[in-house]
Amino acid sequence: MHSLIQLSIVVLLLPLLSFVILIFFNRRLPRRGDFVGVGILGTAFAISAYIFWTVIVQTYDPAFRVAWNFTWIDLGNVPGVGPLQIKMGVVIDNLTAIMLAMVNLISLLVHLYSTGYMAGDKNYGRYFAYLGIFTFSMLGIVLSDNLFSIYIFWELVGLSSYLLIGFFFEKDSAANAQKKAFLANRVGDIGMWLGILILYSQFHTFGFSEIYANLAAGKFTLSNAWLTASGILLFMGCVGKSAQFPLHIWLPDAMEGPTPVSALIHAATMVAAGVYFVARIFVLLTPDALHVIAFVGAFTAFMAATIAITQNDIKRVLAYSTVSQLGYMVLGLGVGAYSAALFHLVTHAFFKACLFLGSGAIIHAMHHEQDMRWMGGLRKHMPWTFATFTLATLALAGLPLTSGFMSKDAILAGALGFATVEGGGIYYLIPVLGFFSAMLTAFYMGRQIWLVFFGESRTHLKPADDHHADHHAHDSHAAHGDEHHEEHGVHEVSWNMRAPLVILATLSVFFVYSPDPLDGAKGWFMHMIQTPATVVGSASLEKPAALATAQQPLLAEAAVVGAGHAEKDVPESAAAEKGEEKGGHTFADPRQAEIAHATHGAHYTAIYISSIMVVLGISMALIVFVFKIIDPDKTAEAIRPLYLFSLNKWYWDEIYDATFIRGSVILSKVLSWFDTNIVDGLVNGVAVTVRKFAFANAGFDKYVVDGMVNFTAFSVNTTGAVLRKLQTGKVQTYVVMLIIAVFGYFVYYVTKLVY
């Protein structure tokens, strides 16, 4: 076993250890054991930093990969398949190393920060335990070498988020939010699970490398529609976790969790998992699947940005900005800008964590006031927070010299390149939405900065009733429960909350990633994380399905043999490949190669457009909020339908509520009714019939008339009229019955014999 593997397993298990210790013993430990959590995470970070150092800095090899696995379940000699084992394992490559370091760092910072933020909560110890399992789950996703274990940790992330979002479970809103998050994620998960099933059903393995090898070898025997479907379905997992449309609804509600948790969820762990996962499966995505992904990402980016403009809750703005940024990443993956998307994932993780922690500091300082309308002027009271928050905001908006600029620009360049290669038309919608969202991002972040930090304090403007309600509705834990805040006391937070802000802000600056502030591609990140070659060649995919199936092995072989063949078959792509050569590697797949080439070409165009957009956005924010040339309220009035549309988040919650949720509840009631009344009723009906029949028979002796009617072939009325006079329980009627039985049958027999 490679020493890095051993270390990575240690890293994986350390947070779990923290969870186990804290969940069982937190009440017996001093300070509820927060030092255990912080200490363990510190250790984990140290180890992962070492891994990072070894892999990224020392080895510096784009193709670095070590893997290890063990047999988890041995299915024996399965009929029709042969010996079959389900393996679990760990893989470390550059992406893993980076993600490990990032996750552990942010987690550590959140732990540290929480020691300040959560101090005094009655479930303080449990909180750290939850953080531990959250980190563990996320690390599991990062380290997994197969779909099955990814799915396991995927769900565990869901659980952890459930626990953390609902940490203040006494609040109904929190309880609702945690449920919503879990269920929305589950919907995504079933898609992902089906995707996994499609792949497993073909290859009888969950391992990435085996699946890709099999795919490349053309062993996928179903039609290509299935392959596309599997890609889209797997992407559904990402839609859930990374809060893409249409499952984005859970994320803003998840703000009910403690703010540091928001940082952890929305920056480093959960939402990143989705993007990370798509990156892992990137190579098996067919062009069709990629198109879907790209459109979903672009739409999400745009939609969330429009919503973020009108939100008043400081965390909600950030939440929607997260959704929007995740949209970018997904868009990036969809257009094939693999490394750019991951780059954005990492940069976003840092600056968004910074933003969330910063907002947490603000909320903390404001005594759990989250509404931006009642903030203002915090610049003076909280200089550290202000500085770091602003820096992170700039990065988010994508101003040059920040990390965000580089990564976002790379994605947009990819989108442009993609649109050109795909032949324009509707595909240009993707970069257009991307650029437009960039402008909106700059605008709403400008608005936020202004509302929070500049101007005068507007705390006193808050309506009293609202205030009271809010007080209970937000982060009010027991320790703060009775502490009504007065017109004072807004001051900078303590060091343990400040330090993480500073660290994260630092990591939002360009030089961490690339020497050239304008081109992330020149940095180590883009070098280490390179777009992998697809294993589902587009050439074969364009063939009619029937033909494709027949020729699959041949074509796949051709794809494997590589560039040489491709060059012969598709001459025009040769140039593209050459263009990409300086990127260090080539693509066998012509489409991929073309996109890479076009992306490269679009780099500067993207920079120009996006810079313009960002400037536009910021200036609009300035115009509206600083110079007050346009009154936001009046504008809102003027475009009220649009304003409400945005404020109410495009009414997705209402739509889902009216359709899926209410539909399910109604259906469940209907089915339950059906169950008790119809299904059970049928059975009881049979019983009743039997009893009725029994009654008829019991009355048989009683009302012999009727009974005779059943037993004889005589006319109902005449015999009935005669024999009705006979009464119950009489021996004579018995005798009559006897005689009728004997002679009746005889008459029947004679009749039959005669005719």
End-to-end CA distance of the chain: 95
Out of 7, 13, 175, 213, which residue is the one contacting other proteins (CB under 8 A)? Answer: 175
Can you read off the two tokens belonging to residue 28? 């017996």
Nearer to other proteins, 288 or 701 (CB): 701
- Per CB under 8 A, which of residues 181..240 are in contact with other proteins? 182-183, 186-187, 189-190, 193-194, 197-198, 200-202, 204, 221-222
DSSP strand pairing (65-78 vs 82-93): antiparallel
CB 95 within 8 A of CB 141: no
511/745 with CB nearer other proteins: 745
Interface with other proteins, residue 467, by CB under 8 A: no
DSSP 268: I
**Which one of 53, 169, 495, 511 is in contact with other proteins (CB under 8 A)?**
169
Check if the beta carbon of residue 456 is closer than 8 Å to that of residue 324: no
Among residues 53 and 746, whose Cβ is nearest to other proteins?
746
Of residues 10, 67, 159, 292, which one binds other proteins by CB under 8 A? 159
46 binds other proteins (CB under 8 A): no
Closest to other proteins by CB, 401 vs 473, is 473
Q: Kindly list the distances between the CA atom of residue 322 and the CA atoms of 158, 190, 304, 648, in Å, as whole numbers in the listed order.
A: 18, 23, 8, 17
Distance CA 402, CA 627 (A): 26
- Beta carbon of residue 393, minimum distance to other proteins (angstroms, whole number): 35
Residue 709 touches other proteins, criterion: CB under 8 A: no
Residues 6+ apart with CB under 8 A from 496: 112, 113, 115, 116
Asked if 72 and 206 touch (Cβ cutoff 8 Å), the reply is no
Site for other proteins in 736-755 (CB under 8 A): 736-739, 741-743, 745-746, 749-750, 753
- The answer to whether 317 and 359 have CB atoms below 8 angstroms apart is no
Shortest separation between residue 263's beta carbon and other proteins, angstroms: 23
Q: Are 707 and 701 in contact (CB under 8 A)?
A: yes
Task: Quote the least distance from Cβ 179 to other proteins, whole Å.
Answer: 5
Give the shortest CB-211-to-other proteins separation in angstroms: 14
| Interface segment toward other proteins; rule CB under 8 A; list 57-65, 337-345, 456-464, 695-703 | 695-703
In angstroms, the CA 72 to CA 152 distance is 13
**Does residue 157 contact residue 141 with C-beta atoms inside 8 Å?**
yes
Asked if 546 is part of the footprint of other proteins (rule: CB under 8 A), the reply reads: no
Are 104 and 48 spatial neighbours (Cβ–Cβ below 8 Å)? Answer: yes
CB of 649 to other proteins, least distance (A): 22
Q: Which of 32, 87, 111, 171 binds other proteins (CB under 8 A)?
A: 171
CB 610 within 8 A of CB 399: no
Based on CB atoms, which residue is closest to other proteins, 214 or 306? 214
The SS3 of residue 97 is helix
Candidate ranges 424-432, 518-526, 629-637, 733-741; the one touching other proteins (CB under 8 A):
733-741
Least distance (Å) from other proteins to the CB of residue 552?
12
Question: Could you tell me if 113 and 497 are in contact, meaning their C-beta atoms sit under 8 angstroms apart?
Answer: yes
Q: Is the Cβ–Cβ distance between 292 and 235 less than 8 Å?
A: yes
- Nearest partner of 503 among 104, 138, 210, judged by Cα: 104
Closest to other proteins by CB, 426 or 722? 722
Taking every pair of Cα atoms in the chain, the longest distance, rounded to a whole number of angstroms, is 118
Measured CA to CA, the distance from residue 597 to residue 414 in angstroms comes to: 10
- At residue 235's C-alpha, the angle toward residues 230 and 236, to 5°, is 100
Beta carbon of residue 237, minimum distance to other proteins (angstroms, whole number)? 12
Q: Which residue stretch of 180-188, 534-542, 616-624, 650-658 sits at the interface with other proteins (rule: CB under 8 A)? A: 180-188
For residues 75 and 629, which CB has a smaller minimum distance to other proteins in the complex?
A: 75
Q: Which is nearer to other proteins, 495 or 748 (CB)?
A: 748
How wide is the angle at C-alpha 548 spanned by C-alphas 543 and 550, nearest 5°? 145
**C-beta of 187: minimal distance to other proteins in Å?**
6
Q: Is 166 in the site for other proteins (CB under 8 A)?
A: yes
- HEC string of 29-70? CHHHHHHHHHHHHHHHHHHHHHHHHHHHHHHCCCCCEEEEEE
Instruction: Give the shortest CB-304-to-other proteins separation in angstroms.
Output: 24
Distance CA(311)–CA(730), nearest Å, equals 89
Q: Binding to other proteins (CB under 8 A): which residues in 53-112?
A: 72-81, 84
Are 339 and 583 a contacting pair, CB within 8 Å? Answer: no
Site for other proteins in 607-636 (CB under 8 A): none
Q: Which of 545, 688, 690, 713 binds other proteins (CB under 8 A)?
A: 690
Please say which residue, 428 or 711, places its beta carbon nearer to other proteins: 711
**Burial level of 425, CB count in 10 A (0-12/13-18/19+)?**
exposed
Q: What are residue 653's phi and psi, to 5 degrees? A: -60, -45
* Interface map 643-672 toward other proteins (x if CB under 8 A): ---------------------xx-xxx-xx
The answer to whether 176 contacts other proteins (rule: CB under 8 A) is yes
- Give whichever of 204 and 522 is closer to other proteins, judged by the CB atom: 204
Report in angstroms how near the CB of residue 6 gets to other proteins at its nearest.
20
609-640 burial, b at 16+ Cβ within 10 Å, e below that, comes to bbbebbebbbbbbbebbeeeeeeeeeebeeee
| Residue 208 or 405 with smaller CB distance to other proteins | 208
Tell the smallest beta-carbon distance from residue 446 to other proteins (Å).
Answer: 38
Q: Which is nearer to other proteins, 604 or 734 (CB)?
A: 734
3 vs 672, beta carbon nearer other proteins: 672
Residue 682 touches other proteins, criterion: CB under 8 A? yes
**Total number of residues that touch other proteins (CB under 8 A):** 95
Token pair, residue 1, equals 């076993």
Choices 96-104, 254-262, 488-496, 691-699 (CB under 8 A): range interacting with other proteins: 691-699
> In whole angstroms, how close is the CB of 59 to other proteins at the nearest point?
32
How far apart are CB 121 and other proteins at their closest, in Å?
A: 13
Closest separation between CB of residue 259 and other proteins, Å? 20
> Which residues between 299 and 318 bind other proteins (CB under 8 A)?
none
DSSP 662-709: HHHHHHHHHHHHIIIIIIHHHHHHHHHHHHHHHHHHHHHHHTHHHHHH
- What is the 8-class DSSP label of residue 529? S
Which of 317-325, 483-491, 635-643, 690-698 is the region at the interface with other proteins (rule: CB under 8 A)? 690-698
Nearer to other proteins, 424 or 729 (CB): 729
Least distance from other proteins to the Cβ atom of residue 108, Å: 24
Residue with tokens 């989108």: 415
**Of residues 137 and 573, the one with the C-beta less far from other proteins:** 137
Candidates 45, 127, 153, 295: give the one binding other proteins (CB under 8 A): 153
Q: Which stretch binds other proteins (CB under 8 A): 308-316, 512-520, 651-659, 725-733?
A: 725-733
Residue among 575 and 688 whose Cβ is closer to other proteins: 688
Q: Which stretch binds other proteins (CB under 8 A): 111-119, 152-160, 360-368, 393-401?
A: 152-160
Q: Which of 19, 64, 127, 151 binds other proteins (CB under 8 A)?
A: 151
Nearer Cβ to other proteins, position 18 or 733?
Answer: 733
Element (H, E) at 74: strand 65-78
Whole-angstrom distance, CA of residue 597 vs CA of residue 195: 30
- SS3 labels along 265-286: HHHHCHHHHHHHHHHHCHHHCC
Q: Is 571 exposed, middle or buried (0-12, 13-18, 19+ CB in 10 A)?
A: exposed
